[in-house]
Amino acid sequence: MKAEGRFIGDCGLTYQEVEGRMELEIGYHVLESERGKGYATEAARGCLDLGFTRTSCDLVCSIVRPSNQASCAVAGRIHSARRDFVRKGEAAVFFYTLREDWEAIERGRRSV
């Protein structure tokens, strides 16, 4: 991510182990001084679209610590579902979007 010619963070897709399965996850980090401006949401939404248009994955997710309210807000804006789970012995939130849900949203966007 860049703003005014300088890097302010990063966002991308990587596979993460979730309850014995490898899931495609969106990860993002934004400099504290640049948070709250919509950069993470915009970048994460782009990664969600990329995950479904460039892979055959049926699910794209974001794994967030419950205490990270800002990341929970971003993931809540881009994903269609969430559930709590335990990862590596710690509480986590599994935000996710199924391909069929993403496709329905995309069809709605195109028809407007």
Residues 36-72 have pLDDT tens digits of 999 999 999 999 999 999 999 999 999 999 999 999 9
CATH 3.40.630.30 at 2-111, yes or no: yes
Domain positions in the chain are 2-111
Of the listed ranges 2-16, 40-54, 72-86, the least confidently predicted one is 2-16
Phi-psi region of 88 (alpha: psi -120 to 50; beta: other; left: phi over 0): left
How many other C-beta atoms are found inside a 10 Å radius of the C-beta of residue 17?
Answer: 12
The rounded distance, in Å, linking the Cα atoms of 28 and 17 is: 17
Q: Over 90: is that where the pLDDT of 100 sits? A: yes
